[in-house]
C-alpha cells in the first residue's frame, strides 16, 4: 500500500472558489469509516474516491493542500486518475493546489521521493521550495 502524507490542518477562511471546489470534492468522494475514528478529534477527514484512492485535502483562503493521496490498489493507475480529477476540479474553480510529496516505505510498489516529484510534475506541479529536505510543490489553475 502506497501512502503519501504531510501534516493536516483542516479547512479555514475559504474564498468562494475554494468553497465551491470543496463542495464538489466532497460530492465526488465519501468519508472513510475506520475503527480508529475515535482517535481523530473532530472526526476522520480522509475521504475515498471511487473506492480506490484515499485523499485528505485541507484549504485556506484560495489554496487547497493535498495532504494525502494513497492508492488502495497500488500500481493500477488509480492515484493518477484521482489526481487528474482533482486538477480538473481545481482548474474549473480556479484553485491553487499545494503539496509536499513524501514517499513512505520502501516496497517495490511505492515510488521513491524523486519518482513522486516527477509524478506531480506530470500533473502541472512545480517545485516552489525545499526546507529541511522537504520539497514543496504548487500547481496554479490552467
DSSP annotation string for 81-116:
HHHHHHHHHHHHHT-EEEE---B----TTS--HHHH
**What pLDDT is stored for residue 96 in this prediction?**
96
**What pLDDT is stored for residue 88 in this prediction?**
98
pLDDT at residue 65 is higher than 50: yes
pLDDT at residue 80 is higher than 50: yes
Backbone Cα Rg of the chain: 14
Asked if the structure places residue 3 within a domain, the reply is no
Task: Assign residue 125 the CATH number of its domain.
Answer: 3.40.630.30
pLDDT at residue 4 is higher than 50: no
Count: domains in the chain: 1
Asked if the structure places residue 4 within a domain, the reply is no
Cα 28 from Cα 80, distance rounded (Å): 16
* DSSP state for residue 41 in the 8-state scheme: T
Asked if the structure places residue 36 within a domain, the reply is yes
Q: What is the mean pLDDT of the segment spanning 67-82?
A: 91
**What pLDDT is stored for residue 79 in this prediction?**
95
Say how many Å lie between the first and final Cα of the chain, rounded: 31
Spell out a b/e string for 70-101, using b for 16 or more CB atoms within 10 Å of the CB, else e.
bbbebeeebbeebbebbbebbeebbbbbbbbb
More confident residue, 27 or 8: 27
Asked if the structure places residue 128 within a domain, the reply is yes
Q: Which three cell numbers stand for residue 55?
A: 485523499
pLDDT at residue 77 is higher than 50: yes
Domain that holds residue 58: 11-139
pTM score, two decimals?
0.84
More confident residue, 16 or 12: 16
Asked if the structure places residue 1 within a domain, the reply is no
Name every residue whose Cβ is closer than 8 Å to that of residue 11 and which is 6 or more positions away in sequence. Answer: 22, 58, 59, 60
pLDDT at residue 36 is higher than 90: no
pLDDT at residue 40 is higher than 70: no
Whether 32 and 15 have beta carbons less than 8 Å apart is answered as no
Asked if the structure places residue 32 within a domain, the reply is yes
Amino acid at each position: 500500500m502506497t501512502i503519501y502524507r504531510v501534516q493536516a490542518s483542516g479547512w479555514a477562511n475559504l474564498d468562494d472558489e475554494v468553497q465551491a471546489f470543496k463542495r464538489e470534492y466532497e460530492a465526488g468522494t465519501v468519508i472513510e469509516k475506520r475503527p480508529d475514528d475515535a482517535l481523530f478529534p473532530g472526526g476522520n477527514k480522509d475521504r475515498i474516491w471511487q473506492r480506490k484512492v484515499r485523499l485528505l485535502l485541507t484549504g485556506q483562503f484560495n489554496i487547497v493542500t493535498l495532504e494525502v493521496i494513497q492508492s488502495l490498489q497500488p500500481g493500477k493507475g488509480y492515484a493518477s486518475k484521482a489526481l487528474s480529477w482533482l486538477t480538473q476540479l481545481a482548474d474549473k474553480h480556479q484553485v491553487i493546489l499545494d503539496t509536499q510529496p513524501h514517499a513512505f516505505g520502501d516496497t517495490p510498489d511505492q515510488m521513491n521521493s524523486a519518482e513522486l516529484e516527477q509524478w506531480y510534475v506530470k500533473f502541472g506541479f512545480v517545485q516552489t521550495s525545499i526546507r529541511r529536505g522537504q520539497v514543496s510543490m504548487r500547481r496554479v489553475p490552467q
